[in-house]
Structure 1
Amino acid sequence: MDSFSFLLVAVILTALAFDFTNGFHDTANSMATSIATGALSPRVAVAVAGVLNLAGAFLSTEVAKTISGGIVEDSQVSLVMIFAGLIGAILWNLVTWLLGLPSSSSHALFGGLIGAVWVGAGGSAVRFGAIIEKIVIPAVASPMVACVVALLATYLAYVITRRAARRAVGKGFRAGQIGSASLVALAHGTNDAQKTMGVITLALISTGALSHGAGPPWWVVLSAGLAISLGTYAGGWRIIRTMGKGLTDIQSPQGFAAETSATAVILASSHMGFPLSTTQVCTGSILGAGLGRRLAHVRWGVAGRIAVSWLLTLPAAAAVGGVAAWVADQGDLGVALVAVVALAAAAAFYMLSRRRPVSPENVNEAPAPEPPATVKPAA
């Protein structure tokens, strides 16, 4: 069947590879605080997250429809553009994973697709209005909302339990974290697995295998859910350490407040079809939980590096996706060259990560302290 060409199969496999990186890149979103407080052991945490990511993939397809027909003109998108956009997203995910930065897999995907389509079909094929409404505004608002909600929830948690025995409070909140972390994992599957569903659906539409405006078939939903679930189980230990131990000192009431706040924001956005970044929401909620506890220490240097990575994600992935689209558009040799370079880069990132490995055994080690601020003496 012509509609299921070799290139289409390659695009689907590349999309599922991105979904896998999305899973291990974003495991920290649901489980970093539970691992940091000891509510769940690292291995159990990623197993629970993996199962619930798979379940969440079947709850909604509204975000998938936004991606497959929302940010670009699907009638002008080719398989080469989709392939190139996915390469841009995968490489940015690997760069930020190596650096331990919880950047947005979602924005990496959007950036890669926007750059590839812009180069391949021109600016008219990109729906900039939809990008502002569906991506940029939620990207700015969602971490702020999550931060404020988590700050208030943390403050109330400590006020309500201030007369209770500290040990009993900690035990109760750690038990609660199992439920709240599970809800974040379920919400993550609902939101993030749909992004790969949307990309595969866009590829099927571009070849005529599906009609314009169609939703994802059942096998797309299942394969996307399985890929993100397996990636989640692999565990992104470097990013888990940053979110669990690097941003602020998390106690169990804070972890429960952060996870509950993130779940509310993510599920509300999924219902409305906003493909926001679960990473940004969860990072914002952890920051809010740190600010909500009296005398808690927030490492603003780490927060600043994370914010810079957020600003760079969309344009950096777009640049890589655009270059990949230009090279891949030269023919089969160009597609092969892009694939070989991407595989070589992935292998190089993995080898670099082995120099200072982070594993379930050392993921809860305290990060190196930030150097104290220095004041230059007056002349």
Structure 2
Amino acid sequence: MADIQGSYDDLFTAVPTALGALLDGGDVGGSVAVFVGGEPVVDVWGGFADAERTVPWERDTIVNVWSVTKTMTALCALILADRGELDLDAPVARYWPEFAAAGKEKVLVRHLLSHTAGLPDWEGTVEELYDWPSATARLVAQAPQWEPGSAAGYHSLTQGFLVGEVVWRVSGRSVGEFFADEVAGVLGADFHIGLAAEHDPRVALAVPPPGRDAEYRAGASGGDAAAHAAGTAIRVRDGNSVAWRRAQIPAASGFGNARSVALVQSVLACGGAVSGAPLLSAAGCERAWEEQFSGDDRVLGMPVRWGLGYGLFGSTFGWGGWGGSLVMIEPEAEMVVAYVTNQMREPAEDTRGLEIVMSAYDGLKGLRG
């Protein structure tokens, strides 16, 4: 049986049990956190931080959560909008004049957050992802693939640079700096967009799915593409590189653990404030789950509902990342469930996040009862 570390409320015993089952089933390592009302009711971890299973997963182990990073970047934009510094209905070019090139003058800020801007494909090299000016210049030169706002297509890599550049133009800080100052620093959350070298020893590198190696590439099938790209696909070895960790790739290169993911996103579950730190107004929180699009996503090839930076799923919202990490927010119950792992699985076969979420609902029933 897997050795599960951490703490949990007795009502939520199903959660560590579910994590243990995943580890017993072959997963290398991971962590799960459930917050209710901004407080942890589950904070557990287990397994190993390395593929060789020699380094135990510790309380402060962090991992690349891939596209869960999008929820952190979106929160930065929502904070600026809530402060009246960013108008979500304004053309992007109001803040980033060069962006109007190639027919993008009608792209609104809300289109960037809802994957409806028409710029889903990363056509540059992997190396360009590490160079912010090169990445944003490439996006300035692109023309929309559809009338902005008329359709959705998952902007798997491009969304982070698009929203991140707007954050930079409005705040004068990179999205990683803004997040560190205004979110992680305020909450005491161990989450990073652009990871400093001092944290490298704590990183659990991604482990490819069974039968795959470090050349395993992201794809659009199965609900998340860390890189849907016309010419470039991200490989596991790219995500495990030092260059990836140092870069700010705000759609896909965030590092944290389940505790930090759940803590940050509890801001949206709890009306804008966690532990006495108000980051958003109640109205600012509600913006996140205002439906912007409902229909077939052109990239993911399946029906989706997009809010402002989050996928909408019934009464919940959130998003997952390539490899299996996930965050789910349930505002009615003020609950957030976060699961992060270094063990990748084939997207079409990966139900781990759903299993973890359902185990958390078992505890919530007892809490309400």
- Please indicate the TM-score interval, normalised by the length of the shorter structure: under 0.3
Structure with max Cα Rg: 1
Give the number of the structure with larger relative contact order, counting CA–CA contacts within 8 Å between residues 6 or more apart: 1
Give the structure-2-normalised TM-score.
0.25
Query: Which structure: greater helix fraction?
Result: 1
